[in-house]
Amino acid sequence: MNHKNGFNPLSRTTAHRRAMSRNMVTSLFRYERITTTKAKALEVRKAAEKLITRSKVDSVHNRRQAARYIQDDIVLAKLFNEIGPRMKDRAGGYTRILKIGFRQGDAADMVILELVDYKLDVEGKKEKKESKPAKKDAEKAEAKKPAEKGKKKASAKKADAEPASSKSDE
């Protein structure tokens, strides 16, 4: 029987589909979260989960097999050094698909494909927001200083110009 052995061609040629899948898997491992359409996410998920399963055992053979699919050396190293060990005690189901609605232009069903242990950095964003106003205040203060110096120079020039005009009046 040939059940569940098919795939979705996504209306693309083989070369285009393979390149797109490789790029999306690489982006998934690099950023650990990507936004895409539901059909693409379901196809990318298959390849990503197989690569994560391989990365749980760091051997030369597994690295070479994964390198056939992932062209970026930095992402490949991240897969075997960070993502694989994090998923060591998980039996499967390394990714999750979260529905986010429909795309404005063509009403395609959009989803977020992410690794299950992905943590949204909410606290880091709050700290960044707090630090930015402090930087802006400092930059504004520095920007005012040269403007004040320019005003002082202009008033000094006027003072120099006034005695000259008073001498001409005499």
Q: What's the whole-model pTM score?
A: 0.70
Amino acid at 69: Y
CA 47 to chain centre: 21
Whole-number Å distance between alpha carbons of 76 and 69: 9
Looking up tokens 């056939």 gives: 68
**Residue 48 near residue 33 (C-beta atoms within 8 A):** no
Neighbours of 161 (CB within 10 A): 10
* 14-119: CATH number: 3.90.1030.10
Q: What angle do CA 129, 134, 136 make, to 5 degrees?
A: 95
State the pLDDT at residue 126: 66
Going residue by residue through the chain (170 aa), what tens digit of pLDDT does each one get? 888 889 999 999 999 999 999 999 999 999 999 999 999 999 999 999 999 999 999 999 999 999 999 999 999 999 999 999 999 999 999 999 999 999 999 999 999 999 999 888 777 666 666 655 555 565 666 666 655 555 555 555 555 555 554 444 54
Q: Which residues, in sequence order, are CB contacts of 86 under 8 Å at separation 6+?
A: 117
State the pLDDT at residue 150: 56
Give CA separation, 57 vs 10, 86, 92, 152, in Å: 32, 12, 14, 70
